[in-house]
Amino acid sequence: MAIKISIITVCYNSAATIAQTIDSVLRQTYPEVEFIIIDGASTDYTADVVKSFGRKISHFVSEPDNGIYDAMNKGIQKATGDVIGILNADDFYAADDILQKVVTIFETTDAELVYGDLHYVKQYDTNIVTRKWKAGAATAKSFYRGWMPPHPTVFVRRALYEKAGLFNTSFKSAADYEMMLRLFLKHQCRAAYLPVLMVKMRAGGVSNLSLKNRLRANGEDAAAWKVNNLKPQFFTIILKPLRKIGQFFIR
């Protein structure tokens, strides 16, 4: 039986960008796709944009939530696919065959999780690349050296989420990092690296908007280890943001 993929897009006041996100999912050549959009009761015309795609969207929910990770949890709970991917409303797939390549990895290996590479692009000109996140093949031990995979490129078997649990909504900006620590280190998931550009992401994430947010994010990174009863090296939390510097110079 063919692997079914559930793609979850969470959004709030994303009318300016979500059509490109949706289009990149609908253009995928792999046919067995469930597309779930969770909107936090947007006050712009996000819902109108989504509804314009009609039945091509498998499930659309628009209601108040408790933030981005709460919305992601709602999507995971609704998903019926064998594999779940999360693509935010500022992001889009870099090619039409990304899901096919992901499925091939799941079909030909025992991987529970697949991830790849990501490019940051300009907010209003997505042809301009500002930063390249080449994830590279890594082991669980890589987290101790400040590594993590680009979350928008991560695909997880639903059974692994069922075992490991949902996103921890007590985190404001690092719940994706906490989830990766939980999956890779606490549950020692079997992960596979797909060495292709999978996702393009508009620059300007929550944790990078200001120095205050960056410092808060570093504090949450440390808390992510503690909540999982894991102990990082003394340099781990320092290396995590420092590793990003090199991403501006990758050609």
Q: What confidence tens digit (pLDDT) does each residue in 8-45 have?
A: 999 999 999 999 999 999 999 999 999 999 999 999 99
Q: What confidence tens digit (pLDDT) does each residue in 57-82 have?
A: 999 999 999 999 999 999 999 999 99
Domains assigned to the chain: 5-248 (3.90.550.10)
Q: What confidence tens digit (pLDDT) does each residue in 164-176 have?
A: 999 999 999 999 9
* pLDDT exceeds cutoff 80 at 201: yes
Interatomic CA distance for residues 43 and 46, integer angstroms = 8
Q: Are 118 and 199 in contact (CB under 8 A)?
A: yes
This prediction has a pTM of: 0.94
β partners of residue 199: 93, 118
* pLDDT exceeds cutoff 60 at 107: yes
